[in-house]
Amino acid sequence: MIIDSHSHVFLPVEKHLEIMGNDGIDKTVLFPTIIHPEKTSDYSEYKEELRLLNKILRGEINPTDLRIRAISELKQITNDYPDKFVGFGSCPTGLDLEQTGKWINDYVIENSFKGIGELAFGEGQVNKAENIFKSISGNVRYPLWFHTFNPLTLNDIKELLVLAKKYPDVVVILGHGAGSYWLEIIEEIVNMKNVYFDISASFTIYSVKVSSELIPERVLFSVDMPYNSPAVMKKIVDESVKDQVVKELILANNIKRLLGI
Share of the chain above pLDDT 70, in %: 98
Given a cut of 70, is residue 148 above it in pLDDT? yes
- DSSP-derived pairing of the beta strands 27-31 and 144-147: unpaired
**Cα gap 39→13, rounded to integer Å:** 12
Q: What topology does CATH give the domain 3-259?
A: TIM Barrel (3.20.20)
pLDDT for res 61 = 63
**Residue ranges per structural domain of the chain:** 3-259
pLDDT for res 62 = 66
**Cα gap 88→121, rounded to integer Å:** 17
Asked if 100 and 140 touch (Cβ cutoff 8 Å), the reply is no
pLDDT per residue as tens digits for the range 6-46: 999 999 999 999 999 999 999 999 999 987 888 788 888 87
Given a cut of 80, is residue 163 above it in pLDDT? yes
Which H or E run includes 213? helix 205-214
pLDDT per residue as tens digits for the range 55-84: 777 766 667 888 898 999 999 999 999 999
Estimate to the nearest angstrom the gap between the alpha carbon of 65 and the chain centroid: 21
Given a cut of 70, is residue 51 above it in pLDDT? yes
Q: What is the mean pLDDT of the chain?
A: 93
Query: In degrees rounded to 5, what are phi and psi of residue 193?
Result: -65, -15
Query: If DSSP states are collapsed to H, E and C, what string results for 235-255?
Result: HHHHHHCCCHHHHHHHHHHHH
In the chain the first and final C-alpha atoms are separated, in Å, by 12
Q: Which amino acid is at 34?
A: I
Asked if 167 and 141 touch (Cβ cutoff 8 Å), the reply is no
Q: What is the pTM of this model?
A: 0.93
**Cα gap 190→195, rounded to integer Å:** 9
